[in-house]
Amino acid sequence: MEAVGVVTAVGPGLTGRKVGDLVAYAGNPMGAYAEEQILPAEKVVPVPPSIDPIIAASVMLKGMTAQFLVRQCFKVERGHTVLIHAAAGGVGSLLCQWANALGATVIGTVSTKAKAAQAKDDGCHHVILYKEEDFVTRVNEITSGKGVEVVYDSVGKDTFEVMDDALLLILLSGSLACLKLRGYMVNFGQSSGTPDPVPLSALAAKSLFLTRPTLMHYTVTRDELLQTASEVFTNVGAGVLRVRVNHTYPLSQAAQAHADLENRKTSGSVVLIPDGYYGDGNILQKTHQENKSIHRGCIAAKKRRSKAASPPQTTYLRHLHPTTVLSCLKVPIYVFKCVPSFHTYSKINKFQQIKEQMFGD
Ligand SMILES: NC(=O)c1ccc[n+]([C@@H]2O[C@H](COP(=O)([O-])OP(=O)(O)OC[C@H]3O[C@@H](n4cnc5c(N)ncnc54)[C@H](OP(=O)(O)O)[C@@H]3O)[C@@H](O)[C@H]2O)c1
Q: Give pLDDT tens digits for 142-192.
A: 999 999 999 999 999 999 875 555 554 456 789 999 999 999 999 999 999
Main-chain dihedrals φ then ψ at residue 299, nearest 5 degrees: -65, -45
- Per-residue pLDDT tens over the stretch 83-136: 999 999 999 999 999 999 999 999 999 999 999 999 999 999 999 999 999 999
What's the rounded Cα separation, in Å, for the pair 279 and 275? Answer: 9
Name the residue of 133, 264, 272 to mutate for ligand 1: max ligand atoms within 8 A of Cβ: 264
Q: Residue of the nearest CA to atom 8 in ligand 1? A: 189
What's the rounded Cα separation, in Å, for the pair 56 and 114? Answer: 25
Dist. CA 154 → ligand 1 center (Å): 6
Asked whether residue 320 is assigned to any structural domain, the reply reads yes
Main-chain dihedrals φ then ψ at residue 127, nearest 5 degrees: -120, 135
Asked whether residue 115 is assigned to any structural domain, the reply reads no
Domain with 305, as residue range(s), is 2-44+284-359
Asked whether residue 267 is assigned to any structural domain, the reply reads no
Asked whether residue 291 is assigned to any structural domain, the reply reads yes
- Ligand 1 pocket, residue 191 CB under 6 Å: yes
Q: Residue of the nearest CA to atom 13 in ligand 1? A: 91
Residues belonging to the chain: 361
Q: What is the pLDDT of residue 311?
A: 36
Asked whether residue 293 is assigned to any structural domain, the reply reads yes
What's the rounded Cα separation, in Å, for the pair 125 and 106? Answer: 5
Do 155 and 191 contact (CB within 8 A), yes or no?
yes
What's the rounded Cα separation, in Å, for the pair 271 and 293? Answer: 25
Q: What is the pLDDT of residue 196?
A: 87
- Tally of structural domains, the chain: 1
pTM of the model: 0.82
pLDDT, greater one: 127 or 298:
127
Residues 6+ apart with CB under 8 A from 108: 83, 84, 85, 87, 88, 92, 96, 119, 122, 124, 126, 127, 128
Asked whether residue 265 is assigned to any structural domain, the reply reads no
- Check whether 220 has a pLDDT greater than 80: yes
